[in-house]
A and B are shown apart, each in its own frame.
Chain A
Amino acid sequence: MADNPQKPARERPLSPHLSIYRWQVTMLGSITHRATGIALSVGALVLAWWLVAISNGPVGYDGFMRYAASPIGIIVMFGFTWSLAFHLLNGVRHLAWDMGYGFEKHTASRTGALVFAASLVIAVGAFLFAWTGHAGYLA
């Protein structure tokens, strides 16, 4: 019996942790869902900034657009676009799991890879759509 309750008599075994496992698409999808969720939280603040800028009239809006259309702004906007596409598609994947569908090992891997591919295609597609002058159809 140990005299000091803070110090166990011997080291207790630890369960295998992250570094033990080979990376798989399902793990990557899980942590990417969390990371894109955090990124989109920042996006929610930018969305509020955009709404305030519109409500502030032309000068306020130009101020916002100077940031949004700067090189760094475009990279950030691409990040938000891809994050939204990924989080939305992977969110549908999660909702399907909650209803009991698609949880088989190979199905989960396939849909995981599909979500990565599709979200990239959507984000790049949206930017090409805008750069070729097809966006802005509400103007």
Chain B
Amino acid sequence: MSSLETPLHRVRGLGASHSGTGHFWRQRVTALALVPLGLWFAFSVLGLVGANEVVALQYLAHPWNAILMAAFVLTLLYHMSLGLQVVVDDYVHGTASKIFLLLLIRFVALATASTSLFALIRISS
């Protein structure tokens, strides 16, 4: 009685993409977060045009900027994984190539996130 699942959902599992409405919702939540974060990123990059390495380093070493850049990169990569997954869901129909591409997207996103965070920590320390 307390479940909000539809009877169809319980019968068929989570649909063709095996994720139900969770994917849709996460795509929107990350999109909403990326509006202010993206504006901050544009402001920062435009402000660092022509700057040398020391200026860029000092800017990103500031706690607020380091935190905002980490939040931007992580949210961006999550939003990216969700978006690219839809592209694969739409255009790739073979099960093997589909699973391969979905794994590739997630691994690349994870590798990029780890690398970016490591770089940010190195910049801040």
Contact = CB atoms under 8 A, between A and B. Distances in A.
Chain A bound to chain B: yes
A138 B115 contact: no
Given A44-B76, A48-B116, A139 B35 contact: no
Interface string B90-125: 000000000000000000100010011011101100
A95 B31 CA distance: 8
Contacts, number: 103
Interface residues of B, number: 40
Contacts of B115: 48, 51-52
Given A41-B84, A135-B50, A51 B35 contact: no
A41 B82 CA distance: 11
Instruction: Describe A's contact surface by its main secondary structure.
Output: helix
| Size class of the contact patch on chain A | 20 to 34
B103 to A, nearest CB: 16
Q: Please provide the 6 A-B residue pairs with the shortest distance between their CB atoms, ordered closest to farther.
A: A138-B47, A61-B53, A135-B49, A51-B119, A55-B122, A55-B119
Interface of B: 28, 31-32, 34-35, 38-39, 42, 44, 46-57, 59-60, 69, 73, 76-77, 80, 83-84, 87, 108, 112, 115-116, 118-120, 122-123
